[in-house]
């Protein structure tokens, strides 16, 4: 007897089972409304040490998570535009802006010198394996999230257009 004949019913049953699971997952996803919170993924600080994104937030205060790269012009424009508001906004609302660089090993060594040359006061972290990017469902950069004091995403934009910083600043003030 062909070994495949023996294996076939089991293989088919397995496939059927997988199909069930996938269908269930899709059905569940269709009905699920999720206000997101931060995924449990570690990122690298510029000195090479590991940290959790959630530990960079001031307790009970809002946080902006902005995905960017040194080669992404709109990302840099956005972070430059926010830089003018950041110090005052931080004082006023306690908001922390974490700029998550998705630069890979080609461009990640440039992140430190680049940030210095821009004069940003943000906390900058690296996500070289794109673990956080995938976990937060980020497709393109820039992609910016605003989280409230409870760590839930309350606003997001997967682009930057000039003037959007004003919208973001207003959203942060709403959380005060």
Partner 1 sequence: MRRIAVIVAMVTAGSAAAQTGQTDALGGTLRAVVQMDAQLYVRDSVLDPAGDYYPDERALGQGWALFTYERGNLRMGMRYENYQNAILGFPTGYRGEGITYRYAQWQQGKFDITVGNFFEQFGQGLVFRAYEERGLGLDNAMDGSRIIARLPKGLTLKGVIGRQRVYFAKSDGILRGTDAEWALREAVPALDKMGLGINLGASFISKFQRGFDPLLNLPANVGSWAYRLGANYRGIDLKAEYAYKINDPNFDNGYIYKPGEAFVATATYSRKGLGVLGTVKRIDNFSFRSDRNAQQFDALVNFIPPTGNLHTYALPALYPYATQINGEMGYQFDVNYLIPKKTKLGGKYGTKLALSIAASQSIDRRPLEDGSFGDKGTQGYVTDALAWGEIPYFRDINFGISRKFSSKYKSQLTAYRFVYNKSVLADGVNDYAILDAPDSDSVLVVPAVVWEQQFALPRHQTLRTEFQWSGGEGFRGGLAMALAEWTISEHWVLAVQDIYNYGHPSESRRIHYPLVSVVHFDGPTRVQLGYGRQQQGIFCVGGVCRVVPPSNGLSLSLTTQF
| CB-based contact 70:103 (threshold 8 Å) | yes
7 phi, psi to nearest 5 deg: -80, -25
**Binder of partner 1 out of 90, 112, 123, 175 (CB under 8 A):** 112
> How far is Cα 5 from Cα 90, in angstroms, rounded to an integer?
68
- Asked if 63 touches partner 1 (CB under 8 A), the answer is no
**Binder of partner 1 out of 7, 11, 12, 27 (CB under 8 A):** 27
- Asked if 97 touches partner 1 (CB under 8 A), the answer is no
Q: Of residues 70-89, which lie at the interface with partner 1 (CB under 8 A)? A: 70-74, 77-78
| CB-based contact 117:86 (threshold 8 Å) | no
Q: Which is nearer to partner 1, 5 or 105 (CB)?
A: 105
**Binder of partner 1 out of 3, 5, 9, 34 (CB under 8 A):** 34
- Asked if 104 touches partner 1 (CB under 8 A), the answer is yes
Name the pairing type of β-strands 143-147 and 96-101.
Answer: unpaired
């Amino acid at each position: 007897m062909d070994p495949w004949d023996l294996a076939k019913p089991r293989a088919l049953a397995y496939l059927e089972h997988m199909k069930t699971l996938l269908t269930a997952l899709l059905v569940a996803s269709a009905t699920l409304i999720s206000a997101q919170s931060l995924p449990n993924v570690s990122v690298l600080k510029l000195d090479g040490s590991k940290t959790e994104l959630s530990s960079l937030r001031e307790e009970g205060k809002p946080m902006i998570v902005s995905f960017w790269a040194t080669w992404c012009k709109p990302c840099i424009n956005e972070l430059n535009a926010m830089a003018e508001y950041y110090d005052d906004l931080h004082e006023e609302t306690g908001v922390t802006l974490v700029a998550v660089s998705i630069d890979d090993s080609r461009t990640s060594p440039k992140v430190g010198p680049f940030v210095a040359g821009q004069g940003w006061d943000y906390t900058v972290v690296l996500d070289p394996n794109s673990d956080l990017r995938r976990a937060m469902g980020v497709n393109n950069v820039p992609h910016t999230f605003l989280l409230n004091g409870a760590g839930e995403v309350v606003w997001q934009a997967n682009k930057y257009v000039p003037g959007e910083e004003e919208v973001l600043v207003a959203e942060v003030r709403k959380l005060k």
